[in-house]
C-alpha cells in the first residue's frame, strides 16, 4: 500500500518532526487494522501555529480558540462507502481529507502530560486520521470506540517501531 502525505509547513518548527513519515505509518496501521482493501491513499497536513489553527477553528467550527488538531474528511461515510472502492482505478489515490495540527498546542499538552512531544503528536495524528475515516466522539459509545481504536493503533505502532522516537 502507498500512502501519499502532502505537508504544508506553515510553522517552520514542525520541520524537526517528520509528519510525512508518521502520518504514513499511522494511516497504514489504521488500514491494516480495519482490513481495508485499498492500495493508494492520500491526505494533506497543515503543520501550523496556534494562531493559524485558531483562525481555522473559528472559520469552520465557530469556536474562537486554538485547538490541537482539526480534521476535514473527504468522504463523510467512509465505512459505508463501497467496500471494493471500484470507482478508484490502480493509478488513483483515494483522498482521505485534510488535517491541521498546532505546534504550540502539541508542545504545551505534551509538557503538561509529561510525555514526549513526538508521542503526543502521533496520538493527535491518529485521532485526526480516525476522524478522516468517519470516527466520532459526540456520544459516549462512539467516544469509547474511537479511544479503543486510537489505543490499538498507538500500541501497535509504538511497540513495534522503537526507532520512531529518534528525532
Rounded to two decimals, what is the model's pTM? Answer: 0.81
Going residue by residue through the chain, which has 167 residues, state the pLDDT in tens, using 9 for 90 and above.
788 899 999 999 999 999 999 999 998 888 888 776 777 888 999 999 999 999 999 999 999 999 999 999 987 656 544 555 444 445 567 888 999 999 999 999 999 999 999 999 999 999 999 888 887 777 676 777 777 878 888 877 766 544 444 33
Task: Quick: pLDDT tens for 64-104.
Answer: 999 999 999 987 656 544 555 444 445 567 888 999 999 99
pLDDT of residue 162: 43
3-state SS, residue 165: helix
* CATH code for the domain defined by 2-165: 3.40.390.30
Q: Cα(167)–Cα(1) distance, rounded to whole angstroms? A: 25
All cell numbers assigned to 160? 513495534
Amino acid at each position: 500500500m502507498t500512502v501519499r502525505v502532502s505537508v504544508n509547513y506553515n510553522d517552520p518548527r514542525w520541520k524537526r518532526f517528520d509528519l510525512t513519515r508518521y502520518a504514513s505509518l499511522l494511516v497504514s496501521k489504521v488500514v491494516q487494522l480495519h482490513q481495508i482493501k485499498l492500495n493508494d491513499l492520500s491526505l494533506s497536513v497543515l503543520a501550523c501555529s496556534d494562531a493559524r489553527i485558531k483562525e481555522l477553528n473559528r472559520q469552520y467550527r465557530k469556536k474562537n480558540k486554538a485547538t490541537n488538531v482539526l480534521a476535514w474528511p473527504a468522504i463523510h461515510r467512509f465505512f459505508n462507502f463501497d467496500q471494493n472502492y471500484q470507482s478508484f482505478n490502480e493509478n488513483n489515490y483515494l483522498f482521505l481529507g485534510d488535517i491541521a495540527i498546532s505546534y504550540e498546542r502539541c508542545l504545551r499538552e505534551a509538557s503538561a502530560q509529561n510525555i514526549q512531544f513526538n508521542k503526543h503528536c502521533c496520538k493527535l495524528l491518529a485521532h485526526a486520521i480516525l476522524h478522516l475515516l468517519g470516527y466520532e466522539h459526540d456520544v459516549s459509545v462512539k467516544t469509547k470506540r474511537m479511544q479503543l481504536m486510537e489505543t490499538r493503533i498507538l500500541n501497535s505502532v509504538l511497540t513495534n517501531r522503537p526507532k520512531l522516537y529518534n528525532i
